Structure 1
């Protein structure tokens, strides 16, 4: 079916006049009449009957006009949706992140983004750095937020975003609570280590190696942040964690920070995208967090 002819017929049917349809479409009346006749021949049905200065719809014409209305309304909806997609106001945004940014940085920004762009569906996947990178490379995420490493990859762009300070923590009534001590003194405490490969563990061992000091004794090994914090809050040992992970508990008085002379280490969080143009929703999200961070 000729959609151009259908559009002209629908306009004439809606206005009840071929002449008015021609004026509205900035066409000549004979051109509109010719296209309607062509449509009638194509489908083998009479659609319009002249009536005075206007036209009357046949039964077939009424049915076709109703369906044409649905079609052109759908067309308008599609065009509107495409414009929203271009502007970043519709579609889906797939994010991937490691534990730290997923839990302590992104929730605030996702909430702000959803308030600004309610028509965009947002999906966040939390994984380790290797899995997060794979999600981005295999087009299952548009933006990746990776903490703990500064990864350089030939197919990815990295934008530094946040530097999270690392800190030593103990129980609120520990003798070192709130004190300033040397690293040697801090390392005398039994430490609660996170699992092998975790950023804090690797940083602590690397710090000791760089200072030519033995790593602190392993008092406990825990495979989760909450478990580590709970043990410290119950009064055992020390831990080396990020400030984002511990800030709320320090502020609440559940644990206390120990200042260690000459130690200033950070946990970098970077934004990664593929080396290609980001979708409008993804670019809007990146622009928002970089502008207001």
Structure 2
């Protein structure tokens, strides 16, 4: 089975677009179509239904996709295992990370890594933590540094590096800012801006309210913490933000007896052979975790 055709199939299946697959693989759309046609001819099945601009997997395509991932991942593992025998820390390291961690936690580690291992080409992908999680599961990234999921997938190894305390915050002129102490029930009556419903942070905060039989009044949501901070600072709503982001633009609310935190760290696929570059970066992360 031609690997170029298989990679084209995976790209079209994931993106639902021949043109999008071409952009990802740096090929023209006709070249992608030719590769898909070659794979369909080789397997003697139709892999995609093309209805207008929509591209959907057929039953045969859905059956092939998980096997295609397995084939590509086995070959990648074999290549890494052979390269690892040399002991050299080189090659490409595909690292996925969230915008928040990439801005607030990783820069010193990246600086150290690039100084120690100049032969490694870093491919850093800034993604939501939940998207980065899928990149690891599907083998498209080797290592991800993200907000850790409360319940990790069985095929994912998660290692905590930083405790990331979360604080309830409002604008200085917000009515809640005038109170010395507030309760979760007090906060629930006011409009909130939350991380998106698909995020791990959203679930952490939502679970806290549910434990007290309360429901937050979520007026709006976004996955970008900087946007949340801006909305809070102009008085639109309260929210929960990492303590590392706080400054004079917002006021921290005091909730006696309540402490909220999330864990930041790295994840890898348990069945993937890791490159020497990935292991070297993990060692830096482990050392950082010991210091934190």
The answer, yes or no, to whether TM exceeds 0.5 is: yes
Provide the secondary structure at the position in 1 that maps to 2:253: strand
| Aligned residues of 2:229 and 2:241 also touching (Cα < 8 A) | no
Distance of aligned partners of 1:191 and 1:280 in 2 relative to their CA distance in 1, 3 Å threshold: same
Name the structure 2 match of 1:265: 260
1:173 pairs with 2:168? no
| Aligned residues of 1:85 and 1:280 also touching (Cα < 8 A) | no
1:252-279 Cα deviation digits (max 9, x unpaired)? x111111212221212223222335422
Name the structure 2 match of 1:131: 131
In structure 1, distance between residues paired with 2:280 and 2:102? 18
Provide the secondary structure at the position in 2 that maps to 1:86: coil
In structure 2, distance between residues paired with 1:83 and 1:145? 22
1:278 pairs with 2:274? yes
Name the structure 2 match of 1:102: 102
| Correspondences of 1:135-214 after superposition (within 5 Å) | 135-177=135-177, 179-213=180-214
1:216-252 Cα deviation digits (max 9, x unpaired)? 32344445323221122112321122224x23xx2xx
| Aligned residues of 1:183 and 1:261 also touching (Cα < 8 A) | no
Provide the secondary structure at the position in 2 that maps to 1:159: strand
Structure 1 runs (4+) greater than 4 angstroms displaced? 82-85
How many residue pairs get matched?
205
1:182-221 Cα deviation digits (max 9, x unpaired)? 22223332212333223343333322211122x2323444
The two structures, once aligned, show a CA RMSD in angstroms of: 2.7
In structure 2, distance between residues paired with 1:291 and 1:241? 26
Name the structure 2 match of 1:241: 241
In structure 2, distance between residues paired with 1:241 and 1:209? 19
Name the structure 1 match of 2:115: 115
Name the structure 2 match of 1:26: none
| Aligned residues of 1:149 and 1:269 also touching (Cα < 8 A) | no
1:165-197 Cα deviation digits (max 9, x unpaired)? 121011123344384322222333221233322
Provide the secondary structure at the position in 2 that maps to 1:270: strand
Provide the secondary structure at the position in 1 that maps to 2:282: helix
In structure 2, distance between residues paired with 1:187 and 1:274? 39
TM-score (norm 2): 0.61
Deviation at 1:84, TM superposition (A): 11
In structure 1, distance between residues paired with 2:259 and 2:202? 15
| Correspondences of 1:79-98 after superposition (within 5 Å) | 86-88=87-89, 90-98=90-98
| Aligned residues of 2:129 and 2:199 also touching (Cα < 8 A) | no
Query: Is 279-288 or 150-159 further displaced after alignment?
Result: 150-159
Distance of aligned partners of 1:104 and 1:207 in 2 relative to their CA distance in 1, 3 Å threshold: same
| Aligned residues of 2:195 and 2:223 also touching (Cα < 8 A) | yes
Deviation at 1:129, TM superposition (A): 4.1
